[in-house]
Structure 1
Amino acid sequence: MPVFNWVALKPSQIDGTVFTELNDEKVLQELDMSDFEEQFKTKAQGPALDISALKVKATQKAPSKVTLMESNRAKNLAITLRKGGRSIQDICTAIETYDQQALSLDFLELLLRFLPTEYERTLIGKFEREQQPPEELSDEDQFMIRFSKIPRLAERMNVMIFLGNFNDTAQLLMPVEGPQSLPWAEVRWGGGRGVGADAALSQLLEMKSTDRKQTLLHYLVRVIMEKYPELTGFHTELHFLDKAGTVSLDGVLQDVRSLQQGMELTRREFMRQDDSPVLKDFLRVNSEVMEKLQADSRTAKEAYESAVEYFGENPKTSPPTTFFPMFMRF
């Protein structure tokens, strides 16, 4: 027959449609398919199909299995569950008790993509109301039913991922201990010497001499070397300047805000389930850590803005990645 372009419906789209009422065997008994094929076959078409064999095949066709998920989503969930390497009950119990030892962080992040949708919850409800046997379901569908029964599932999953990421993220955000932890403060006060400037730093590179052979920055360097040689070593007092030039202050502040949001979510979950030793211990150990991170982030923001404004720059348009390299070039 000529090619006929059509799109097969997904199993989840068939429920409640006319296709669930069709009986292939009955239709094949009633219709003369040989006449249909003869009328519509292409010129290159071979001999007609054996309709009797087709009828037998339709009779032997196994009944379709009940499914609660779209096929690709079910397949991806099956792959994820195999990576977890645990039973349905073990996985769900670990989530209910916030057991981070039982489930890896990578597995939790993968599983977060399979939170039951509203449509899937509707299908689950219908399946249970009809009291259909669970054996009709695939393993991933059975998992989805048990998974959907966990109270505040999304909140629990996000809390577990937050708990797993907190220590590493907090360590990355902690400032280096000691007076060298704020290079922008060192720039602001110049190690006590007061390396000030009346013009904005960006203008030092923009303003050129009459012969266009040197910038104002080049001129200042020559004057300092000739008239104030004791200041030529000022850069030795500016520690970690190169590293400061690679920091995104906005990114750091956003990371701290994200941690605070995760901490607030954890506190809300603990208030709802105050018998959880995992949440209780986490809050006891890390609440002060979070407070220190917030205080340090405020200090960093204020110190950086003060240093930038001191040199006539705008903190909103002069991020560390452009501000500190000016001193490196100087």
Structure 2
Amino acid sequence: MVPPLKGGILAPPPPPGSMQAPPDAMTIKRKFQTKYKLPTLNWIALKPNQVRGTVFSELDEDKLYSVIDFARFEEQFKLGVQGAFPDRSDDINNSKRFKVPEKVTLLEHNRLRNMAISRRKIELATDVVVKAVNSLDLKTISQDCVDILLRMVPNDAETKAYREYEREKKPVDALTDEDKFLLQLTKIERLSQKLNIMSYIASFAENIQIITPQVHAITAASRAIKSSKRLRKLLEVILAFGNYMNSSKRGPAYGFKLQSLDMLADTKTADRKISLLHYIVETVSSKFPDLMGFDQELRFVERACTVTLENILTDSHELEKGMDLCKRELALRRDSKDAAVLQEFLAQSEDKLRRLQQDIKTAQEAYASCVEYFGESARSVATNIFFSMFVRFIKAFKQADQENETRKKMEVAAQEALKKPPQESIQKKNLLNAKKSTQDAVINELKNKTRMVNEKRLLKQDEVYNGALEDILLGLKNEPYRRADAVRRSQRRKQENVRLSRTMEEMEL
């Protein structure tokens, strides 16, 4: 198919006899003149010689241009009305088109690309952005836009370059859109300070809501651990076991570090089946059952082990710095109409920050008192490490209790199995009973048959009549007497002997 030229005119066919392209030659890709300016896809293109032998050499996307609705695609992704882009093919062909001069940028390539991406996320005109920043207007600019602007703030070198560009009275219209935007940002006094204030105001309430529960968790956990009577009694039991085990070698101890609680599960019997923690839990369960629920008095520990007092102090310090920044900005615009935003914020937020700082001080005191109560130092042990030791001990204690219960059930089942007769003896007994029943049945059958034979030798009373004897004798003369089953007596005895011998063999088996 002959590709069309611009304007819809078909290119003339190649002259006859011209050289044909080699079969592996790459097809020249079609160029498009879009109606709107579209964003650039920053992919890494392959050169024609790199495509040969790859999957792309088997693709033909030209047939998709008539299937896909690219007009709708342009409407969705348009950035603005398409301008007259310089046509490089026209330059090569020395066409008479006018070439639009390239835009000037004072930014390095990566910085310009990042600015272009960030600028597209702020769907506001430059003058609207400048006005909102100067007035600290968070209703016009969202917190997300403020965070984007903070990343776009020109550095000292860029600010100096833009001012020098204006000082030399060079045309601003020659700059790229991104350079124009940054140029206007450089004209905002205290740009970084104003953006930081806006970000601080927007996130202040959320930060207070995040930090306050963490502070309360540390306070509650510290007080709960220190005041727990069950925990104190349980540590007493552990100390007794430890001194009993170590007194002959190391001498008795008056206390131990809390990290020693992790060693209880590692100290085991010679057969490695039972640990010291298993035995302590079993002892507590039988001798001091009220201590088994000691973890109920330490409900806040698990929440407190996920935070650190050091991070809380850092966050509090940042909140305090932001509040001071707002106060300094208010002092600079005391007589300005924009001062109302700062005045309202300070009136609502200063007390909240003050209460948070007081809660932090209370948490510090409660934690220091708790740590010292257990022989530790608040300076050397972080809150998350201290509370994690109790969380691990509670988990190991419960696991040991479950394993003890499982072991007890297995021991009971084993004892019950010993009391019951073995299954093999039961099977043998059942087999002997079955054989005895078979033997009795055979003997009974033989007795019944013997009785029936004896009964057949006698005539029944109703068969006795006058002349019966004469009839029997006459019959014997005519035909010899045979048994009803036509078997001779010798043969019958032989069969009975065989049957009895088989029965005796079965009985012996």
TM-score of the two chains, using structure 2 as the length reference: 0.49
Distance 2:299 2:128 in 1: 51
One of 260, 273, 278 as aligned partner of 1:203? 260
Amino acid at match of 2:390: F
Match of 1:260 in 2: 320
Match of 2:394 in 1: 328
Distance 1:270 1:289 in 2: 19
Match of 2:213, SS state, is coil
Amino acid at match of 2:195: M
Distance 1:70 1:307 in 2: 57
* Cα separation, partners in 2 of 1:134 and 1:323, compared to 1, 3 Å: same
One of 117, 129, 153 as aligned partner of 1:91? 129
Instruction: Compare 117-126 and 190-199 and name the one that shifted more.
Output: 190-199
- Indicate yes or no: 2:330 matched with 1:299: no
* Cα separation, partners in 2 of 1:326 and 1:195, compared to 1, 3 Å: farther
- Indicate yes or no: 2:125 matched with 1:65: no
Match of 1:281 in 2: 344
| Unaligned residue ranges in structure 1 (runs of 5+) | 1-52
- Indicate yes or no: 2:381 matched with 1:317: yes
* Cα separation, partners in 2 of 1:177 and 1:300, compared to 1, 3 Å: closer
One of 209, 213, 237 as aligned partner of 1:175? 213
Instruction: Compare 292-301 and 68-77 and name the one that shifted more.
Output: 68-77
One of 125, 128, 135 as aligned partner of 2:163? 125
Distance 1:177 1:63 in 2: 61
Match of 1:248 in 2: 308
| Unaligned residue ranges in structure 2 (runs of 5+) | 1-90, 236-254, 398-509
Distance 1:150 1:84 in 2: 18
Distance 2:162 2:348 in 1: 40
- Indicate yes or no: 2:140 matched with 1:102: yes
Shift of 1:66: 2.7
Distance 1:123 1:169 in 2: 38
Match of 1:25 in 2: none
Amino acid at match of 1:293: L
Quote the sequence identity (%): 34
Match of 1:148 in 2: 186
Contact 2:215 2:312 in 1 (8 A): no
Instruction: Compare 211-220 and 257-266 and name the one that shifted more.
Output: 211-220
Distance 2:218 2:293 in 1: 17
Match of 1:175, SS state, is helix
- Indicate yes or no: 2:116 matched with 1:78: yes
Contact 1:204 1:217 in 2 (8 A): no
Contact 2:215 2:360 in 1 (8 A): no
Shift of 1:147: 0.5
Distance 1:115 1:278 in 2: 23
Contact 1:67 1:137 in 2 (8 A): yes
Distance 1:114 1:243 in 2: 39
Distance 1:180 1:252 in 2: 11
* Cα separation, partners in 2 of 1:262 and 1:214, compared to 1, 3 Å: farther
Amino acid at match of 1:325: V
Contact 1:186 1:238 in 2 (8 A): yes
Distance 2:324 2:277 in 1: 49
* Cα separation, partners in 2 of 1:267 and 1:178, compared to 1, 3 Å: closer
Match of 1:272 in 2: 332
Contact 1:266 1:279 in 2 (8 A): yes
Contact 2:126 2:181 in 1 (8 A): yes
Amino acid at match of 1:238: L
Render the CA deviation track for 1:11-48: whole Å, top value 9, x for unaligned: xxxxxxxxxxxxxxxxxxxxxxxxxxxxxxxxxxxxxx
Shift of 1:90: 0.5
Amino acid at match of 1:249: L
Shift of 1:268: 1.9
Shift of 1:229: 2.5
Shift of 1:298: 1.9
* Cα separation, partners in 2 of 1:99 and 1:310, compared to 1, 3 Å: same
One of 223, 231, 234 as aligned partner of 1:185? 223
Distance 2:182 2:360 in 1: 42
Amino acid at match of 2:207: T
Shift of 1:214: 5.5
Distance 1:295 1:138 in 2: 52
Distance 2:101 2:215 in 1: 68
RMSD: 3.1
* Cα separation, partners in 2 of 1:220 and 1:268, compared to 1, 3 Å: farther
Match of 1:149, SS state, is coil
Shift of 1:285: 0.4
* Cα separation, partners in 2 of 1:318 and 1:169, compared to 1, 3 Å: closer
Instruction: Compare 143-152 and 206-215 and name the one that shifted more.
Output: 206-215
Match of 2:228, SS state, is helix
Shift of 1:179: 10
Instruction: Compare 265-274 and 164-173 and name the one that shifted more.
Output: 265-274
